[in-house]
C-alpha cells in the first residue's frame, strides 16, 4: 500500500522513521524536525491519514506493511530506527513482530495496550450513539471556544500546525473516524510474538498519563530483553510537543548511546 512520506535531514546518515498518532498526520512531529536534522528522517502519513487519506483503509497491519515497504525502498542499509507515538507505536510494534531484521531500534511513546475508560465506553455504547456523538463534535467545531479547547488539549503551537490540526479534525466522516479509533484503541493487539525480542527498545511515558498507558509500558518492558522505560516529567499524552526538550534529549541520547539522565527518570 503506497502512502505519502517526506524525507528530511541528512540522507546519508542512519534512517529514523517517525510514526504519528491516531487522527492526525506527520506534521505532529514539528518539534522533532530540527532536533533530528543530522539523521535521515522519514515522516510518514499512515493510511487514511493526512496526505495518505485516500491510500486505503487504516489498519495496524496495513500501516505496518506500508512502513516495511518504505524501509526496504528508502532506508540506508535497509534498516531503520522507528519512533512511534500512540497508534504509531502500535504500528512500530507490528513491524517489529514481523520484520525485526529491518529494525535497528524502536522508540515507543504513549503506547496503549490495555483498555482505557474511553475505549471501554466504545465497547458498550451502541454504534449509532457513538456516531451521534461524533456528529455533535463536528457541529460545535464551528465555534471558536471549542476550537481553542481542542488546540489546547492537543498541545499544539504555530499557526500552520494549528490549521493542519483543525482541518484534519473534520476531514473524516463520523463512520470513518469511529473505524480508525476502533482499530487504534479497541481492537485487541496481540503481543505473544514480541516476547524475547532483543532489538533495542526505548519506552516513554508521560508522568501525567493514564494508568492504562503506564501499565502498558510495564507490560512491554517485561517482554523485551533489551529495553528501558523512562518517564517524561510533567508530560501527558502530548509530550512530544509540550515536553519536546525532554523527549528529544532522551531519544537522541538513547540512539547515540549517550543517555546520561538522573535515575529518577527511569520507571520503577
CATH code, 96: 3.40.50.1820
Give the domain range for residue 246: 5-115+190-265
DSSP-assigned states of every residue in 153-213: HHT--SHHHHHHHHHHHTSS-HHHHHHHHIIIIIS----GGGTT--S-EEEEEETTS-HHH
| pLDDT over 80 (residue 49) | yes
Q: Tell me, yes or no, whether 144 lies in a domain.
A: no
pLDDT exceeding 90 applies to what percent of the chain? 68
Q: What letters, b where the CB count within 10 A reaches 16 and e where it falls short, cover 172-211?
A: bebeebbbbbebbbbeebeeeebeebebbbbbbbbeebbe
Residue 146 within any structural domain of the chain? no
Q: Answer whether residue 125 is part of any domain.
A: no
pTM of the model: 0.91
Kindly give the pairing relationship between strand 227-232 and strand 201-206: parallel
- Compute the distance between CA of residue 68 and CA of residue 96 in angstroms, rounded to an integer: 10
Mind listing the pLDDT tens digit for each residue in 205-222? 999 998 889 999 999 999
70, part of any domain: yes
User: What is the total count of domains within the chain?
Assistant: 1
In-domain check, residue 210: yes
Asked whether residue 20 is assigned to any structural domain, the reply reads yes
Could you tell me if residue 158 is inside a domain?
A: no
What per-residue confidence (pLDDT) applies to 45? 98
pLDDT at 5 over 80: yes
For 84-99, what is the mean pLDDT? Answer: 97
Assess if residue 108 is contained within a domain.
yes
Residue appearing with cell numbers 504513549: 110
In the predicted structure, residue 120 carries a pLDDT above the cut 90: no
Check whether 75 has a pLDDT greater than 90: yes
Amino acid at each position: 500500500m503506497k502512502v505519502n512520506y517526506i524525507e528530511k535531514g541528512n540522507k546519508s546518515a542512519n534512517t529514523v522513521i517517525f510514526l504519528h498518532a491516531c487522527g492526525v498526520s506527520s506534521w505532529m512531529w514539528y518539534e522533532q524536525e530540527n532536533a533530528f536534522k543530522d539523521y535521515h528522517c522519514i515522516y510518514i502519513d499512515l493510511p487514511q491519514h493526512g496526505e495518505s487519506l485516500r491510500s486505503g483503509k487504516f489498519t495496524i497491519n496495513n500501516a505496518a506493511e506500508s512502513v516495511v515497504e518504505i524501509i526496504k525502498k528508502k532506508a540506508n542499509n535497509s534498516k531503520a530506527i522507528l519512533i512511534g507515538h500512540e497508534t504509531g507505536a502500535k504500528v512500530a510494534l507490528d513491524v517489529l513482530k514481523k520484520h525485526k531484521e529491518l529494525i535497528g531500534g524502536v522508540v515507543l511513546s504513549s503506547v496503549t495496550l490495555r483498555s482505557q475508560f474511553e475505549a471501554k465506553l466504545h465497547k458498550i455504547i451502541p454504534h449509532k450513539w457513538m456516531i451521534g456523538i461524533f456528529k455533535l463534535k463536528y457541529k460545535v467545531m464551528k465555534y471558536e471556544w471549542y476550537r481553542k479547547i481542542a488546540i489546547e488539549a492537543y498541545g499544539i503551537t504555530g499557526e500552520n500546525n494549528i490549521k493542519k490540526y483543525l482541518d484534519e479534525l473534520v476531514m473524516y466522516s463520523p463512520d470513518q473516524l469511529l473505524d480508525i479509533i476502533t482499530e487504534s484503541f479497541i481492537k485487541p493487539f496481540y503481543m505473544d510474538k514480541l516476547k524475547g525480542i532483543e532489538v533495542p527498545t526505548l519506552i516513554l511515558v508521560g508522568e501525567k498519563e493514564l494508568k492504562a498507558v503506564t501499565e502498558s509500558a510495564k507490560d512491554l518492558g517485561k517482554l523485551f530483553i533489551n529495553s528501558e522505560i523512562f518517564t517524561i516529567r510533567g508530560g501527558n499524552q502530548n509530550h512530544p510537543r509540550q515536553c519536546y526538550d525532554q523527549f528529544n534529549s532522551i531519544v537522541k541520547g538513547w540512539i547515540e548511546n549517550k543517555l546520561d539522565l538522573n535515575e529518577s527518570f527511569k520507571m520503577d
